[in-house]
Structure 1
Amino acid sequence: MAKAAEKKKVEGGSKMKLIIIASVAAVVLLIAAVGATLFLTGALNKKSASAATHETAPPLKPPVYFSITPPLVVNFQHPTQARFLQVGIDVMARDPHVIEELKTNMPAIRNRLIILLSAQSYNELSTPAGKEKLRKEVLDSINTELKKAGVHGHVDNVYFTNFVMQ
């Protein structure tokens, strides 16, 4: 009987050792997995990802704004009655030279914009999507005219500061 009790005690001890070894191995494996994940995602680097991005990208110049004045007024296509559109436009560039060239080429730019605005339909401009499409077309139109004039650089954005349809 003593042999049976001793055998049971030895089996219980080796099961306990096996559980402890397996638990320690699982904890070590878990720590290794977390460490590998942190290393691969860059969380362990001294510099954060956003700081690295800011260092590699050149700093942006401050924006320079210019209002196209007076606002553009055009009549546009509508089958039953005369419709008018008045649009106030501000442009933004990060190079003051581009704004100066814009001023120099303003007659050609205004002409191009009047033709573009006149070709719009009342129904399309009644929707936010139509206004956004027109804004992008105005930006492209201005940059195309600047490129035609031999200007190095471009207008970065266009804003409608006044938009009245009647």
Structure 2
Amino acid sequence: MATAAAAAAAPAPKKKGKKLILIIALLVLVGAGVGAGLFFTGMIGGTKEEHAEAKDMPKLLPKGSKPKAAEGEGGGEHGGGSGGGSAEGGPKYESSYFQLEKEFTSNLKESSHLVQIGLAVSTPYDEKVTEALKAHELAIRSAVLMAINDTDEEQIFTAEGKKDLQNRLVKAINGVLKEKEGFGGVSNVYFTNFIVQ
């Protein structure tokens, strides 16, 4: 009789085990669904500061929209530009230009020559980028001067060398903006004055 009772008791745990596994699987699926829904709606997956930063990021300006004029911009030039053809901007976005007020004077790397450069920048983003350029002008000037100072004399006399300097200046300015504001936004740098002495 003991074996018959043991045999009858054995199937019961299997049914309870299957039900338990089914309930746990169902709870996991429901929990995953709720978690995914909260993540994609932005309720989780970042701090409040990260969500606030995302709201303060500059917006690309589609072609045809006119950015607000910023003080210090060269002649109020807006639009019509190609945004420098960069991946950030491109021809489908409006370009705004910002003239850096003071010229940059620096010696060249291992040279007795001095270079004096006037700079303007372009951005396919809204006025937040030009506001950041004004707010961090001193740090930007320092980064630009260091990039100029790291330029070889031979480079400065060739078109290819000047293009390389432009690219390095874009990286230097965007580096300062990313460090200070959390975003870059400058797509190109233009020489408004270029004198080598």
How far has the Cα of 1:120 moved from its partner?
A: 1.0
Partner of 1:149: 180
Residue 146 of structure 2 is aligned with which of 89, 103, 115?
115
Q: What is the distance in 2 between the residues matched to 1:63 and 1:111?
A: 25
Residues 100-135 of structure 1: CA distance to partner in whole angstroms, max 9, x if unpaired?
Answer: 011101100000111110111111111110000000
Residues 1:64 and 2:82 are matched in the alignment: no
Preserved CA contact (<8 Å) 1:139 1:158: yes
The answer to whether structure 1 residue 91 and structure 2 residue 125 are counterparts is no
Report the TM-score when normalising by structure 2.
0.51
CA distance in 2, matches of 1:66, 1:151: 20
**Offset at residue 153 of structure 1 (A):** 4.7
Q: What aligned pairs does 1:1-150 form with structure 2 within 5 A after superposition?
A: 59=63, 60-78=92-110, 82-94=112-124, 95-150=126-181
Larger Rg belongs to: 1
Deviation at 1:75, TM superposition (A): 1.3
More helix by percentage: 1
Q: Alpha carbon RMSD of aligned pairs, Å?
A: 1.6
Q: TM-score, normalised by structure 1?
A: 0.60
Partner amino acid, structure 1, of 2:137: M
2:119 is paired with a residue of what secondary structure?
Answer: strand
Give the deviation of 1:142 after TM superposition.
Answer: 0.6
Check conservation: 2:97, 2:122, Cα contact below 8 A.
yes
Mapped to 1, the partners of 2:148 and 2:155 lie a distance apart of 12
- State the distance in 2 between where 1:148 and 1:100 align: 15
Contact 1:113–1:141 (Cα < 8 Å) also in 2: yes
When structure 1 is superposed on structure 2, of 67-76 and 147-156 the one drifting more is: 147-156
- Structure 1: 4+ residue segments shifted above 3 A: 58-61
Q: CA deviation at 1:161?
A: 1.1
Change (3 A) 1:131 1:150: same
CA distance in 1, matches of 2:152, 2:135: 30
Deviates more, 1:117-126 or 1:61-70: 61-70
What percent of counterpart residues are identical?
A: 31
User: Is the Cα–Cα contact under 8 Å of residues 175 and 184 in structure 2 kept in the other structure?
Assistant: no
Whether the 8 Å CA contact 1:101–1:151 is kept in 2: the answer is: no
Residue identity opposite 2:106 in structure 1: V
- 2:120 & 2:186 partners in 1: Cα distance? 11
Q: Is the contact between residue 98 and residue 151 of structure 1 (CA under 8 Å) also seen in structure 2?
A: no
Residue segments in structure 2 that go unaligned for 5+ positions in a row? 1-61, 64-91
Shift of 1:152: 3.2
- Alignment gaps of 5+ in structure 1: 1-57
User: Following the alignment from structure 2 to structure 1, what is the Cα–Cα distance between the partners of residues 129 and 166?
Assistant: 19
